[in-house]
Amino acid sequence: MQKDPDNIQKEKDVLDGSQSGGTPSEELFEHHKFVVDKGQEPIRVDRFLVTHIANATRTRIQYTIEAGNVLANGKAVKSNYKVKGGDVLTIVLAFPRKEINILPENIPIDIVYEDADLIVINKKAGMVVHPAYGNYTGTLVNALLYYLTPPQPSQKGKEKHAKILPFGEDLGGVRPGLVHRLDKETSGLMIVAKNELALARLAKEMFDRKISRRYQALVWGEPKEKEGTVNINIGRSLSDRKKMAAFADANHGKIAITHYKVLESFRYVSLIECKLETGRTHQIRVHMKFIGNTIFGDRDYGGDKVLKNSANTTFKQFVEKCFSICHRQALHAKYLSFTHPTTKKLMEFESDLPEDMKTVIEMWRKRD
């Protein structure tokens, strides 16, 4: 069988983008669809997919099938299912992780929960999640590789992590895999899978929008509605490729849905909660700017300027002091829930607001 035959129709939806710090998208999986030609001879589905998906190993495909992520005509199949003419195959596949060589680094990680399948991390603001151009060190992945790499007997008394490891290499049975991402300057909760099967199952849960994520943010102004939904496509900005933009035209960008509600208002700024239904790059930041309530301190989208009462000198000084305390977008991933990939139990986690956001919110509360 040829690698790229003409006897199938193929669609591929890759959820991509970039975040501050030059790293790739928040959602780390791709959706393939194959419509098999009528003349296709029967062949095992795992062999078919290895042949037709770039960078897909047999093992990776088999874990994806075991996780229930491969459907034939709408039904989950096993590896020995025989693909035949007319079949419609859909696959949710985590991206391959052998991308670049990464140096494990001894960087502290705030681990909220850990077991044999996954880690839940409370990421601090300022940490890039994944190494990429301009950020090859100091990232969460560098820290994870150090944390998960087993000690080597031959390196006793030496720096045990001097070796540069490909991200995704089997580290004594552990293969760290990011399920989603946070922007560099956004703090809060993240899931990391520790093996291929857990990653495949969590990727499918993310794709099916079953992982619940709630954020808190300080935004400029008061939203017109105390509670609402922003359903506007998001895509790469046409004027600045490093940023994202909202597109009312359905022909641009990808579907993005954010539910929000106002928790507290301080006249010139408001504390809000956002629940993501989708997970586009910079989604909350772009949607809040679109409705006229840019996130406080957001340098990329204009929130680091005095957007209200700018003629008042005392007010401007107060805002500048807030910026000096929370010198980032005031956005925190506060709540996370998902179904455990092995035990099937509901897992729920909540993280306190970091000190910089708490301090600034209290300053506005007292001023109001």
- Active-site residues: which are they? 183
In sequence order, the 6+-apart residues with CB closer than 8 A to the CB of 267 are: 222, 368
Q: Does residue 107 sit in helix, strand or coil? A: coil
d(CA 27, CA 231): 18
What are the backbone dihedrals phi and psi of residue 307, each rounded to the nearest 5 degrees, phi first?
-95, -10
| Alpha-helical segments (H) within 135-243 | 140-148, 196-207
d(CA 282, CA 55): 28
- DSSP state letters, 25-52: -S--EEEEEEEE-TTPPPEEHHHHHHHH
Residues 259 and 267 sit within 8 Å (Cβ to Cβ): no
d(CA 43, CA 145): 38
